[in-house]
Structure 1
């Protein structure tokens, strides 16, 4: 099933950055599956010494960027899952608190890449089996109304956003 692009009133303003990363007319489900392969190949091809690189003081390392991608994948997927079932009210999350709350730099890049792949694959199982009605469900996240449709697009766009930053500033 082709999932239509969400309207701007279906997600918080900041999320427009992510939604707009998904090309017009793209099949977001194919994009989610295809970008997963590209991201996995990128991260598993990096040498270990590169994994601790940060392009500026105070910026995340490559491992921390991937950890953040995992955190966000998990949060967006959970939100979509919950809201697809009922009009849930869910909390926000602070990306810096989440990254600082763990030590991604002491984990292997391979292990992080494997976790990202497993998390995306889990989300794909959920997303692929949603009905049209579930995709159109509304909930609240971080005190803002949002649809499941928007969360699916945000998931794809968030990954694309960080892959672009990695290529422009890290690699």
Structure 2
């Protein structure tokens, strides 16, 4: 089981996500369990429903899922790189990423399938890390972060967006 990282192992902003993961949770099992929950939620939508946004200027549900995919790719890539050696990586601007794609033209079931395949790959990667690799760190967006924190950030980011979808997007 991967131990929850201390606050000194990531920048304070990411506590928003990491704190959503229960203290004694098996984070890898949580990622696996939420894979089906997230897939079921988004794949059950019609394309029309997936175009819903709760307010002007907010993302559609397709864009929310696309953002979740983008962020998981970024977090897992950072974890991969940092598990291999200490290195510095550039930041990630979520709005630039969303504005540079056209998730809204994609079929929601296809997006849900991409999410599910990505999660499988993420789980294979995260399960492969040794204890030593989980303690390694790197710099992302100018801030030190360790590999275990990135695993927890992946889980917490998903929990954060699932909660937002439940609170603001349920029609």
TM range, smaller chain: over 0.9
Other structure's SS at 1:146 match: strand
CA distance in 1, matches of 2:33, 2:102: 28
Q: Which runs of 4+ in 1 moved over 2 A?
A: none
Other structure's SS at 1:50 match: helix
- In the other structure, the counterpart of 2:18 is 19
Unaligned runs of 5+ in 2: none
Given the two structures, how large is their TM-score scaled by the length of structure 2?
0.98
- CA offsets 1:24-55 (integer angstroms, 9 cap, x no match): 20000000000011000111111221100000
Unaligned runs of 5+ in 1: none
- CA offsets 1:2-26 (integer angstroms, 9 cap, x no match): 0010001111111000001101200
- CA offsets 1:101-125 (integer angstroms, 9 cap, x no match): 0000000001111111111111110
CA distance in 2, matches of 1:149, 1:27: 12
- In the other structure, the counterpart of 1:76 is 75
- In the other structure, the counterpart of 1:98 is 97
- In the other structure, the counterpart of 2:110 is 111
Matches within 5 A, 1:1-171: 2-171=1-170
CA distance in 1, matches of 2:39, 2:21: 19
CA distance in 2, matches of 1:64, 1:142: 23
Other structure's SS at 2:138 match: strand
